[in-house]
Amino acid sequence: MSNFKKAWIYLENGMFFEARSFGANNTAVGEIVFNTSLTGYQEIITDPSYAGQFICFSMPEIGIVGTNPQDVESSNIFAKGILIRHYNEKYSNFRANKSLGEFLNFHNAMGIFGIDTRLLTKTLRKEGAMMMIASTEYSTKEDLQEILKQSPRIEEIDYIKVVSTQEPYHHKEGRFSFKTMNYTLPQTDKKILAIDFGIKKSILRELVAAGFSVEVIPHNFKAEEIIKRYQSKEFDGIFLSNGPGDPKVLKNQIIEIQKLIANNIPIFAICLGHQLLALAQGYETYKLKFGHHGGNHPIQNLQTKKIEITAQNHIYSVPEDIAKIATITHRNLFDGTIEGLLYKNAPICSFQHHPEAGPGPLESSALFNEFSKLLQKT
């Protein structure tokens, strides 16, 4: 441990820690949340929905399988960094080509270990997600406290501009096959436009696997252009992706989504997209105390009564009174929050959890096929 540079952490509740750094040498401010997944740390840290956040892993041993080119959800790490108990610098995996520390350094993200992550997780459960600062440059509580005080809060920042694609592109890769060590090719039937608010690669692969031809477009779309293309039968439906931050920050996107809804275009949405749909329909989202982050969250499908274990990554939720215009199809069994909606006034379905589960269980992956069935009816 003495070979690693010292790092210092200060939380806005006054907690102060000294630990060690195995990632980029930096000073960064972000919101700290905890993740309960036992595996899949590379997919988690490359999920654009973590932009502006520090991820505290409740799993104590991290780094064992290294990193590889396949298990990434985006081209970068948008999270500020990760906090872990034990770091395993020596990795063992036939696909790995970098250690986790090398991967973090390459993407200029912080990695901090030697900290009591159990204490951090229990604190976040009790007090809620909060802002924090981590540094390999400043060592005093007073310096860190002052920098944190002067920094904007995560809900004040629009991270969508950073994580979204700048140009439209077509995604053609399906699921990864370990037999061929390659990605399956699409069997296209219907075409959809995927609006990128921070879309994960595994979502795009599941859309392709469900039979869709997928065109990805940037977050700053214009509804008028999309409506013209829909009327010309250039595509069959729209997908609203996951993404980081407070959905209420995206005022322009909410207005544009309202126009899409008014034209009765079929829409399928996950996570942030699910929240944006609620706001576009006039229903206020709210922030959860510490959110849902991990690959072991139980939900109930209220239509089939079956229990599904799901992957989740969100800290905002939609309100109960949205049941006036939508049928609640899924509920979280931890806290009863809404996980799925089927709108009554339009061909729209949306889900708070991640059916693509990158990483996590695939018990909800059939939702991609359900949207395909919805399009067949329109």
Nearest Cα neighbor of 135 from 3, 50, 17 is 17
d(CA 43, CA 358): 6
> What value, to the nearest 5°, has the Cα angle with vertex 163 and ends 157 and 164?
115
Query: Rounded CA gap, 149 and 147, in Å?
Result: 5
- CB-based contact 82:23 (threshold 8 Å): yes
**Residue of 206, 308, 356, 363 marked catalytic:** 356
Nearest to 50 by CA among 277, 235, 294: 294
Contacts of 228 (CB under 8 A, 6+ apart): none
Strand ranges (E), 218-337: 237-240, 267-270, 286-301, 307-317, 326-332
Nearest-Å Rg of the Cα atoms of the chain is 21
Task: Provide φ and ψ at 126, rounded to 5°.
Answer: -80, -45
Q: Is 12 a catalytic residue?
A: no
Q: Read off φ and ψ for residue 280, nearest 5 degrees.
A: -65, -25
Beta-bridge partners for 10? 16, 133
Does 271 participate in catalysis according to the annotation? yes
Annotated catalytic residue, options 171, 271, 330, 339: 271
How many helical (H) and strand (E) elements, i.e. helices and strands, does the chain have? 10, 21
184 DSSP 8-state letter: P
Choice among 292, 293, 297, 354 that is catalytic: 354
Q: How far apart are the first and last CA of the chain?
A: 60
Task: Give the residue carrying structure tokens 């912080």.
Answer: 110
- The type of residue at 280 is A
Q: Give the active site residues.
A: 271, 354, 356
